[in-house]
Homo-oligomer: A and B are copies of this chain.
Amino acid sequence: MNSDANVQGALLCPAPFSDPIEIRLAHGGGGRMSQALLERVILPRLKGEAAALHDAAVLPATAGRIALATDAFVVQPLFFPGGDIGSLAVFGTVNDLLMAGAQPLALTLSLILEEGLAIPLLERVLDSVQRAALRCGVQVVAGDTKVVGRGQADGLYLAMTGLGTVAPDRHLHPRQVRIGDRILLSGDLGRHGLAVLNARENLGFETDFISDSAPLIEPVEALLDAVGGEGVHVLRDVTRGGLAAVLHEIARAAGLAFHITETAVPVEPPVRAACELLGIDPLQLACEGRFIAIVPPEQESAALRALRTCALGAGAVTIGQVTQGEGVWLESPLGFSRPLEWGSGELLPRIC
Contact = CB atoms under 8 A, between A and B. Distances in A.
Interface residues of A, number: 104
A71 to B, nearest CB: 5
A106 B141 CA distance: 17
Nearest to A259: B1
A2 interface: yes
B29 A346 contact: yes
B68 A56 contact: yes
Contacts of A145: 72
Contacts of A248: 11, 35
Contacts of A11: 248, 327-328, 339-340, 342
Interface of A is mostly: mixed
B345 A2 contact: no
Interface of A: 1-3, 7-8, 11-12, 14-15, 24-35, 55-74, 96-97, 99-102, 106, 108-112, 141-149, 151-154, 157, 159, 161, 163, 166, 239-242, 244-245, 248-249, 252, 259, 284, 286, 325-329, 336-340, 342-352
20 contacts: A11-B248, A14-B342, A28-B345, A29-B240, A30-B345, A30-B351, A31-B245, A31-B347, A32-B344, A35-B245, A35-B249, A55-B69, A60-B65, A66-B163, A70-B161, A74-B152, A112-B159, A149-B154, A153-B153, A161-B161
